[in-house]
Amino acid sequence: MRRIFFAAVLFCTSASLLAQDKDSVMIKRISDEILTNGTAYSNLRFLCKQVGPRLSGSAQAEKAVRETARMLKEVGADTVWLQECMVPHWVRGEKEEAILKMANGVKKPLKVTALGNSVGTSAAGITAYVVEVRTMDELNQLGEAGIKGKIVFFNHKMNPTFIRTFQAYGEAGIYRFRGPSMAAKYGAVGVIVRSLASNLDDHPHTGATGYIDSFPKIPAVAISTNDAELLSRTLKLRMAPSMVYFKTNCKMLPDVKSYNVIGEIRGSEFPNEVITVGGHLDSWDLAEGANDDGSGCVQSIEVIRAVKALGVKPRRTIRAVMFMNEENGLKGATQYAVVARTDGKKHIFALESDAGGFTPRGFSISSNDAQKAKLAPWKNLLLPYGSYEFHDFGGGADVSPLKDVGAVTAELLPDSQRYFDIHHAETDVFENVSPRELHLGAVNMAALVWLISEYGL
């Protein structure tokens, strides 16, 4: 009996090792194909230089829909289609103006940019005394007596002690998203928010604000971190108060029709089990949206291209999705999840790349204990390609709604130390993406997608 037991153990171990070896060979083929023949970088160049900024509702966003649909057809997706969604249409208008008016008569231009979804000022702009706060508690302590009729300056720095820079971004983001409404609650006439940037620079970083309907909607701008330091120093002099003038020309127009772009390879054995891999097609209008999130889009297209180029048949359906309107509404992701609830398919896994085209470090994955156990042996398969971090939380904004239909959600984790130098700023351009790093990220995405297409979850 003991011999039979050990023979069974030896057989299972050998079978497992053989499967691992087969998978290792396949992942090496995927890697070689992408690193040798990958088109993600050239597709990104086209998206950045020939299409440009892709704010939802814009003509460039419409062009990006057409061009990424073309890319998916050219790489050989079995089916390519557009999924309609209605999206907000916010426009920036003419460039913003801002001036610090010191008590001694000196005037200093400030580098600012309107926050996404913000209302504009009047034609005359806003001129008011400024009150600086670093936290919501400070804002609440000042109350109406200290804030009414003034511009509130939220000077909350991203915490430099957080090694995971997205943790610092999440903590600071509340001041950009909720700050304008919280200040308006106490009678503020405008808001200046310190840019969500890791370092000191001269590039203001935009991003969405979210108004609370029960409070007035007041104009809001982000200020570069260098000018945030200048403004803070000036306000601390206190001998005579300084004023700030700013003018913005932005406005919200009626929603317009747009689309998610979808291309898939049908599964050979389980076509109704769907693996989604994607990024968001829209970007802010200050730059080309190269890292946020052109990189994630072209990496997802590259997953389809590599599988087709190798001539292999995935057992489950692999679907690449270019989500529309992540930046200021999430309407594309919402619509995709609505359809997923009723399309008769089992959505088993959804992977997003929306943290830049930098060197991959691993994945964050939201899964249960049984799924974790299935994923665990694959870590060693991905380690040679740079993935060593696997976290128990996962799923970016566009794939998170798929949790409600039972999908395991995940996100690629590139090195994030440089990301918030360029995020939502005029520096998010094609030249700040390395072809090697971009393609290596696509390798890791394609490898994980392939494993799940073979073995399920």
Compute the distance between CA of residue 340 and CA of residue 333 in angstroms, rounded to an integer.
Answer: 10
The CATH number that applies at residue 335 is 3.40.630.10
For range 27-32, the mean pLDDT: 98
Question: Catalytic residues, which ones?
Answer: 326
Q: What's the residue count for the chain?
A: 457
289 shares a domain with 436 = yes
* CA atoms of 199 and 206, how far apart (whole Å): 15
Residue 15 has pLDDT above 60, yes or no: no
What CATH number should be reported for the domain holding residue 227?
3.50.30.30
Query: Is 13 inside any structural domain?
Result: no
Based on the fold, state whether residues 213 and 319 are members of the same structural domain: no
Outline where DSSP puts E strands in 170-327: 190-194, 220-223, 243-247, 251-265, 270-280, 316-323
What average pLDDT does the segment 239-253 reach?
91
Is residue 445 domain-resident?
Answer: yes
pLDDT tens profile 362-401: 999 999 999 999 999 999 999 999 999 998 887 889 999 9
**What is residue 4's DSSP assignment?**
H
Same-domain status, 353 and 398: yes
Instruction: Provide the mean pLDDT of the chain.
Output: 95
Out of 214, 249, 284, pick the residue that ends a domain: 249
With cut-offs at 50, 70 and 90, classify the pLDDT of residue 18: low
Kindly state whether residue 15 falls inside one of the protein's structural domains. Answer: no
Beta strands 251-265 and 107-109, pairing class: unpaired
Q: Do 442 and 300 share a domain, yes or no?
A: yes
* Burial 149-187, CB ≥16 within 10 A → b, else e: ebbbbbbbebeeeeeebbebbeebbebbbbbbbbbbbbb
Q: What's the mean pLDDT in 257-285?
A: 98
Which pLDDT tens digit goes with each residue over 168-224?
Answer: 999 999 999 999 999 999 999 999 999 999 999 999 999 999 999 999 999 999 999
Predicted confidence band of residue 132 (pLDDT cuts 50, 70, 90): very high
Domain end among 206, 232, 249:
249
**Is 220 inside a domain boundary?**
yes
Of 249, 274, 292, the domain-final residue: 249
Is 397 part of any domain?
yes
Give the pLDDT confidence score for residue 3 in this predicted structure: 56
Q: Quick check: is 203 in a domain?
A: yes
Does 241 lie in the same domain as 132?
Answer: yes
Q: What is the pLDDT of residues 139-176, one digit of tens each?
A: 999 999 999 999 999 999 999 999 999 999 999 999 99
Cα separation of 282 and 442, whole Å? 20
**Residue 387 included in any domain:** yes
| 237 assigned to some structural domain | yes
**What digits encode the pLDDT tens for the residues 55-79?**
999 999 999 999 999 999 999 999 9
CA of residue 297 relative to chain centroid, distance: 11
Answer yes or no: do 106 and 190 share one domain: yes
Say how far apart CA 190 and CA 157 lie, in whole Å: 20
The answer to whether 412 and 352 have CB atoms below 8 angstroms apart is yes
Same domain for 245 and 258, yes or no, is no
Give the total number of structural domains in the chain: 2
Is residue 192 located within the same domain as residue 313? Answer: no
CA of 245: how far to CAs of 96, 98, 320, 394, in Å? 11, 5, 46, 42
Q: How many CB atoms lie within 10 A of CB 423?
A: 24
Tell me the residue range of the domain where 442 lies: 28-89+254-455
Q: What is the pLDDT of residues 106-124, one digit of tens each?
A: 999 999 999 999 999 999 9
